[in-house]
Chains A and B, each alone.
Chain A
Amino acid sequence: MRVTVIAIESLTKRYPKVTALDRLTVGITPGVTGLVGANGAGKSTLIKILLGLSPATEGGATVLGLDVAREGSAIRERVGYMPEHDCLPPDVSATEFVVHMARMSGLPTTSARERTADTLRHVGLYEERYRPMGGYSTGMKQRVKLAQALVHDPQLVLLDEPTNGLDPVGRDEMLALIRRVHTDFGISVLVTSHLLGELERTCDHVVVVDGGKLLRASSTADFTKSTPSLAVEVTDTDTHPDGTEALRSALVAAGLSAQAPGAAGAPGAGHLLMVDATDESAYDTIRDTVTELGLGLVRMEQRRHHISEVFNSEPGAVGTAPAVGPQAAPGVASSGAHPAPADALADRQLQPQKGGSGDVA
């Protein structure tokens, strides 16, 4: 497998009235990569360009080493695409439809039938595959859409909002399936979503775009910093009417950094204390301190930093939202209006991602 699955070089796409992509430069390595952005951030435009269906205004990109401007047909033979919207005719059965789509990708009829049966089983469609698709639930339709993208055994699949319209259980199943597409099937995945929490669980790498610009590109582990943070909740007692505050001062005295969480408004946030657990002894210190104070320990749990903190400062404000997260570089704060720092950031952020690809490939 190649080191870089998708290489995007200062890609710009301008429509008469809007700039959908603005000098986007990013490299995507094998594995599951999440493409995150609010609606209108340029995700779908990027996918169209990557499939060779829409010419770029400036810059270029290669997919699997093939140029999107000149070798679109060859790219589309090796790449699977699952659109965001409905795309299934209602009066055809899933089997008929997926066989047809496999043939449209160039598979001979016998292979198309075999692969259809295999793929539908892998995505979890059994007896219902012989029924017309008009009667399918949203979850089943999403599975068929995924199956048609995988049926020709592509090297890369582009999944556009695959969890759209699914209930929480269906969402989890779809995410697990996407994970398996890479781990079990050996197919690289580029999956778009506007829900960061989803991609956090599924992806090896996350690329965040906003207003057609790159905000961040790095591995999920970098995003969700591994230094564990402990959430501690205690009860109040007669001796300590404000148990949380008492514990905080006691812990600070014991040499630990403890503060009330920034996320106000969350249920029980007033009673929560975030403690940086630098090493194992922190757990013991907290336990002993709580016992000494005679407080009741309601809970103590590990918290990871969430990717969504990237957007925390101004969620949804397209084009103006600077990235301020726990990991954000200082230069990013002003990047919204000035492209230059954003590019610098892009180049810098690319390095860890490329370096991190070794274990995946």
Chain B
Amino acid sequence: MSPEPHAHSPATASASASATAEAPVPAAGQRGENVIHNIGYRDYDGPRLGRSYARTSLFEQSLRGAYGLGRSAKSKVLPMILFAVMCVPAAIVVAVTVFTDAKQMPIDYSAYVIQMQPVIGIYIAAMAPQAVSLDLRFRVVSLYFSRPIERGDYVAAKYAALSAAIFIFTGASVVILYVGAMLAKLDFGDETKGFALGLVSCLVFSVLHAGIGLAAAAATPRRGFGVAAIIALLTIPYMLISALQAIVASQNNYSAIGWLGLGSPGSLVDGLQSKLLDGRNAFPMGHELTSAQVSVYVALIAVLITGTYALLLRRYRKAGL
């Protein structure tokens, strides 16, 4: 109570009751303002971590953004729902395996990811434009390029962030399957090998699809167009290829099945993992690729990854300011 009389004493000494009634209000306001202004401007003389730190920060922010973290609640809904949709079937597979005492998982690690492609496709279609179109549309890129990073750093950070986001998205279900396999006390050596190869297959899948998604999304600042373009790129060729493969399979033209698989990103990864990563593909009749076909698969995946990366670099050549 002691500060109270002090605060009021000048007012009571000088003026009437009405003045004292008003006095606390300006006094409080003034005190509040004083607190704000007395701090003043403080210089920053701490470390400036430079370009590579800025690149890492952009990667981190983009990765968080791909799951809606650090964005509005609305932006979190879709990635979280899709993530759940991706993981729940894996959990069901695990439950079935554990309760039926099966000697083997009903589905391979890599095959699960290939089967879930539509869900992954929607996720990429939603998140790739989120990663780049917003920056273009609201011209945030000009702020990025007014900071230490260069154009290549921006592309590298965005590419790595989306690849990592897709890898987490696909890898999580593979991890669930593996944990389930351990719970069901399946053979440790077999399962661990399958799990490791499954993760590698996820990685190839992620990097390839991140490139395609970003290249399509960066082409337009309109998010809607980006979403539509990516869904089209990922689903139409895949469905077309699957249909064509079924047709040639019915004509017993087996080598054509493998060649047709080159036609879509999904079947590319599928073919690759079936041959090199010890999996089984979803091609009709479980057709195995020839070694010539495998090398073309590998080459095409490499070309697609570097090609989309180069496209992105070109896209941002003039995007600064």
Contacts and interface: CB of A to CB of B under 8 A. Distances in A.
Interface stretch (A61-69, A107-115, A165-173, A293-301): A107-115
Given A53-B320, A87-B139, A91-B71, A111 B148 contact: no
Contact of B54 (A86, A87, A106): A106
Given A87-B139, A106-B49, A101 B71 contact: no
B58 interface: yes
B58 A104 contact: yes
Nearest to A105: B147
A83 B139 CA distance: 10
Nearest to B56: A103
A115 B48 CA distance: 13
Interface stretch (B39-47, B121-129, B194-202, B248-256): B39-47
A169 to B, nearest CB: 19
A25 interface: no
Nearest to B70: A96
Central interface residue in A85, A115, A153, by most chain B CB within 10 Å: A153
Contacts of A74: 148
A81 interface: yes
A107 B44 contact: yes
A83 B143 contact: yes
A91 B72 contact: yes
B12 interface: no
A132 interface: yes
Nearest to A132: B72
Contacts of B30: none
Interface string B44-85: 101111110110011001000000001110110000000000
Q: Specify the main secondary structure of chain B where it touches its partner.
A: loop
Interface residues of A, number: 43
Contacts of A111: 44, 46
B interface residue count range (under 10 / 10 to 19 / 20 to 34 / 35 or more): 35 or more
Nearest to B65: A92
A51 B146 contact: yes
Contacts of A104: 54, 57-58, 143-144, 147-149
Contacts of A331: none
Contact of B138 (A73, A86, A100): A86
Interface in A21-80: 44, 47-48, 51, 53-54, 73-74, 76-77, 79-80
A86 B146 CA distance: 15
Contact of A77 (B74, B138, B140, B148): B148
B192 interface: no
Contact of A87 (B50, B58, B70, B142): B142
A122 interface: yes
Contacts of B28: none
B321 A86 contact: no
Given A86-B138, A122-B41, A132-B72, A76 B48 contact: no
B13 interface: no
A105 B71 contact: no
B304 interface: no
A118 B320 CA distance: 28
B91 interface: no
Given A91-B72, A100-B57, A105-B148, A83 B49 contact: no
A82 to B, nearest CB: 9
B134 interface: yes
B161 to A, nearest CB: 13
Interface in B246-304: none
| Residue in B44, B61, B138, B144 with the greatest tally of chain A CB atoms within 10 Å | B44
Given A91-B74, A121-B36, A184-B40, A108 B47 contact: yes
A159 B29 CA distance: 32
B48 A88 contact: no
Contacts of B134: 89, 91
A100 B54 CA distance: 9
A186 B43 contact: yes
Pick the most buried of B51, B75, B320, B321: most chain A CB atoms within 10 A of its CB: B321
Given A105-B48, A106-B148, A92 B72 contact: yes
A107 B48 CA distance: 5
Interface in B109-144: 134-135, 138-140, 142-144
13 contacts: A53-B145, A76-B147, A77-B48, A83-B142, A85-B142, A86-B139, A88-B138, A92-B72, A101-B147, A104-B144, A107-B44, A108-B46, A186-B41
**What 4 pairs across the A-B complex have the smallest Cβ distances?**
A153-B44, A81-B146, A103-B57, A106-B48
Interface of A: 44, 47-48, 51, 53-54, 73-74, 76-77, 79-81, 83, 85-92, 96, 100-101, 103-108, 111, 115, 118, 121-122, 132, 148, 152-153, 184-186
Interface of B: 36, 39-44, 46-51, 53-54, 57-58, 61, 70-72, 74-75, 134-135, 138-140, 142-150, 320-321
